[in-house]
Amino acid sequence: MKKFITQSLSSQKILNLLQSSVHLPINILVVGSSGVGKKLLIKEVLPQTPILEASTLEQKLLDKKINIDEYTKLILFNLDEVVNKQNFLDKLKDITVIATSKQHSVLIENYFPIKIDILPLKERKEDFNYIKQYYLDEAKKIYNTKDDIDLNIDIN
């Protein structure tokens, strides 16, 4: 599955917010714990935008192995892993950045006028149920069975 699931109202709102915001010349921060779909969401909305791990870009900037002036828009994953956030973000001031982070940080958030929080799956039951059914259907295909498989998975 390579798509951000939008069965729940909160996920639909998140997708709509990002879709309507990405064409503005302002930075966007997508925050959420591991596995909530931050990367899938951004890749779905901006499939042609260059993508980098933030820590990799930080190192390339330090080693002068990249010309940041070549970019007008960048997707940066795992911004919270950057060592010197202030210096790093200052170097990106002329670029529109859509970034992911696992947690809120005042320093990071000051650079991002739009912040999108993705709730954990346990708070998006419709999304969880859809994902569970998707993988059950995939398992049926792999094991060539039509038997009903009941996974009694509780996300609480």
Neighbours of 114 (CB within 10 A): 16
On the question of pLDDT at 61 being above 80, the answer is yes
pTM over 0.85: yes
pLDDT in tens, 107-144: 888 999 999 999 999 999 999 999 988 888 888 888 88
1-60 pLDDT tens trace: 678 999 999 999 999 999 999 999 999 999 999 999 999 999 999 999 999 999 999 999
